[in-house]
Amino acid sequence: MNAAIAAIVVTYQSGSTIDACLSRLRQAQD
């Protein structure tokens, strides 16, 4: 159970990082 939660947390953190990068790219395009 803890392993699954850890995997979800890691995935969430990775997704957040990707979202942040995409946001920066969008701002750069503007």
| Residue for token pair 């890691």 | 10
2, containing H or E segment: helix 2-29
Q: For residue 21, give the nearest of 29, 10, 8 by alpha carbon.
A: 29
Give this prediction's pTM.
0.45
Q: What pLDDT, in 10s, does the model give residues 1-30?
A: 799 989 888 888 888 888 888 889 899 887
